[in-house]
Amino acid sequence: MDCIFCKIIKGEIPSTKVYEDENIISFLDIAPANKGHCLVMPKEHYETLIDAPEEILNYTLKVGKKIARAMSSSLGNDGFNVLINNNKSAGQLVPHMHIHVIPRFKGDGVRLDWTPKKYKDKEINDFAEKIKKFL
């Protein structure tokens, strides 16, 4: 496996860590949306949110909350985004499940928006039914 995050976790590639325990690591993103942008991930390799076991997801998010709190206390940001991109079409650049915790400041110019689509007639109900069938 040639996963850059696994190499960082193993210490083969340097990173600027902000948190580490036996299951999770968090470090500063080297291409941040804003300075202080952290990545939080399980040390065990899972490609996407769907691949990770529930207990790992829960614990990763718990650490993400801890990082967000520390970030907000130390950087004085007005808010923060917590994002998980899954697969290339959703913007996932490294196929190792991770959470982005991005500090936000008024007028920072960071854009995380999209052009809204519109449902036709009762199409919204059709989409809801398709999804419900797999729950």
Mind telling me the catalytic residues? Answer: 98
Note whether 6 and 13 are within 8 A (CB).
no
What are the CA-CA distances from residue 14 to residues 11, 49, 55, 68, 102 (Å)? 6, 25, 28, 23, 21
Rg (CA), the chain: 17
Please give the sequence-ordered ranges of beta strands (E in DSSP) within the chain, or none if there are none. 17-20, 24-28, 38-42, 79-83, 99-104
